[in-house]
A and B are shown apart, each in its own frame.
Chain A
Amino acid sequence: MTKLSDRVLVKKAKNHDFEAFEELVTRYETRVYNLAYKMLGSQEDAEDILQDTFLSAFKSIAGFKEKSSFSTWIYRIATNACLMKLRTKQSRTVSLDNKSSIITKGIVDWSGNAEISLDRKELREVINQAVKLLPEMYRAVFVLRDVEGLSNSEAAKVLNLSVAAVKSRLHRARLYLREKLSDYFSARGKLPLLREKARK
């Protein structure tokens, strides 16, 4: 089963083959879970999105025209579910539309610190909080590109944006997050850093 392509599995799933559908779920559940976790910042919400995404996928797989890959299709379902949930929450975000909002203050090179020794849990929380402050479309672009590793054109297809729009949002989101991490590392200053093995 694991050697079959997504396309073949989709065909089988359309033919009411649950095992084939389940293999697709297994292939994509980690990606959907991470997307939702980073988009919504909570494990509970990520679990809801995970369930809703695959339920919606099998209910509509018969109508999936396969103009895009299964991967793009499932990312689109999951991203839309995340955006819907975000809209109901209306949390506070920063504005990145204006270029002046991305300032580049105090350039301290902390890249070595982060690589060598890292309090992963605390840092992860700092990253999650910073990502949560990104406006939703910036967040979606950033998560699809830099967390999930999609290309610009794949992210553009998922979000129905132009490649140029994806690139400019990604650029601003990255600069904003770098700024936030700079604040974190300079605030930590010379405090002893804990070493914790990163989970793979």
Chain B
Amino acid sequence: MECKELLLQISDYIDGTLQPKEHLELEKHLATCPRCRTFVNTLKTTISLCQSLYEVPAPVHRSLHNFLRHEWEIHRVQVSIGIPKFPFVELTEHDKQIDISIELPGITRKDITLRVAPDHIEISGFNKKPEGVYYLNEMNYGPFSRKFKLPSQIDFSRAQANLKNGILKLILPKI
């Protein structure tokens, strides 16, 4: 092996990724060539010197965590209002029925699942994000659900549901 060849393989040699045969040949050469030995030593030292790690300064660490906590809170509030997580609900009780309005802007009928029981109701679904490359992306998509207890027992065989202009209206006659 010549010094030139060693130069090409030196990085693999240091990383231990050379084939056994090549590794052996290179070591044979190193045993007889002080110049290449020096080269290998100085290259290894170069790598180890570059490894010295900086600590994140304590004030930087603190302000990073405070900043992220603050941003997280803002983000949480943004996603928890309106669609998708928890749609807003209005419920009024009358003598013979309960009226419920649920804000579901942009949602179609097939995207809504309504589960009912005599004393509670659950609305859930998924608001799919349209494909596209977004220049601005502030709308909320994903799953949504609301579950709440009803103030009176309901006769669901006579219940009516109607989705219009982004509001789901439920008229639920009492038993």
Q: List residues of chain A with CB under 8 Å of any chain B CB.
A: 16, 18, 21-22, 25, 29-30, 33-34, 37-38, 43, 46-47, 50-51, 54-55, 58-59, 62, 104, 107-111, 114-115, 120, 123-124, 127, 131, 142, 146-147, 149, 152, 167, 170-171, 174-175, 177-178, 181-182, 198-200
Q: Is B54 interfacial (CB-CB < 8 Å)?
A: yes
8 interchain pairs, CB-CB under 8 A: A18-B69, A33-B56, A38-B50, A50-B56, A54-B64, A107-B39, A110-B45, A175-B7
Q: Check B64 against A58 for contact (C-beta < 8 Å).
A: no
Q: Check B7 against A50 for contact (C-beta < 8 Å).
A: no
* New contact pairs (13) apart from A50-B60, A54-B64, CB-CB < 8 Å: A33-B60, A34-B54, A46-B54, A51-B67, A110-B42, A120-B52, A124-B52, A127-B50, A147-B51, A178-B43, A181-B42, A181-B49, A182-B42
Partner of A30, one of B10, B38, B55: B55
Per CB-CB distance, the 3 closest pairs between chain A and chain B, nearest first, are A171-B11, A111-B45, A111-B41
Known contacts A109-B41, A124-B52; is-contact A104 B72 (Cβ 8 Å)? no
Counting contact residues on chain B (CB < 8 A from A), the size range is 35 or more
Q: Check A198 against B43 for contact (C-beta < 8 Å).
A: no
In the assembled complex, which residues on chain A have CB atoms less than 8 Å from the CB atom of B35? 107
Q: Check B68 against A177 for contact (C-beta < 8 Å).
A: no
Q: Check B76 against A127 for contact (C-beta < 8 Å).
A: no
Expressed in whole angstroms, the minimum distance between the Cβ of A134 and any Cβ of chain B is 11
Q: Check A127 against B65 for contact (C-beta < 8 Å).
A: no
In the assembled complex, the Cα of A177 lies from the Cα of B65 at a distance in Å of 35
In the assembled complex, which residues on chain A have CB atoms less than 8 Å from the CB atom of B50? 38, 127, 131, 142, 146-147, 177
Partner of B68, one of A43, A46, A58, A171: A58
Q: Is the interface of A mostly helix, strand, loop or mixed?
A: helix
Q: How many A-B residue contacts, CB cutoff 8 Å?
A: 107
Q: Check A199 against B47 for contact (C-beta < 8 Å).
A: no
Q: List residues of chain B with CB under 8 Å of any chain A CB.
A: 7, 10-12, 15, 17, 35, 38-39, 41-47, 49-57, 60-61, 64-65, 67-69, 71-72, 75-76, 142
In the assembled complex, the Cα of A182 lies from the Cα of B142 at a distance in Å of 58
Partner of A55, one of B17, B71, B142: B71
Q: Check A177 against B46 for contact (C-beta < 8 Å).
A: yes
Expressed in whole angstroms, the minimum distance between the Cβ of B59 and any Cβ of chain A is 10
In the assembled complex, which residues on chain A have CB atoms less than 8 Å from the CB atom of B65? 22, 25
In the assembled complex, the Cα of A199 lies from the Cα of B54 at a distance in Å of 8
Expressed in whole angstroms, the minimum distance between the Cβ of A30 and any Cβ of chain B is 6
Expressed in whole angstroms, the minimum distance between the Cβ of A37 and any Cβ of chain B is 5
Q: Check B38 against A107 for contact (C-beta < 8 Å).
A: yes
In the assembled complex, which residues on chain B have CB atoms less than 8 Å from the CB atom of A131? 50
Known contacts A29-B61, A109-B41, A109-B42; is-contact A21 B52 (Cβ 8 Å)? no
Expressed in whole angstroms, the minimum distance between the Cβ of B138 and any Cβ of chain A is 12
In the assembled complex, the Cα of A51 lies from the Cα of B70 at a distance in Å of 12
Known contacts A25-B68, A104-B39, A146-B50; is-contact A115 B55 (Cβ 8 Å)? no
Q: Check A22 against B11 for contact (C-beta < 8 Å).
A: no
Q: Check B68 against A54 for contact (C-beta < 8 Å).
A: yes
Chain A CB within 10 A, most for which of B51, B54, B55, B61: B54
Partner of A47, one of B46, B60, B76: B60
In the assembled complex, which residues on chain B have CB atoms less than 8 Å from the CB atom of A54? 64, 68
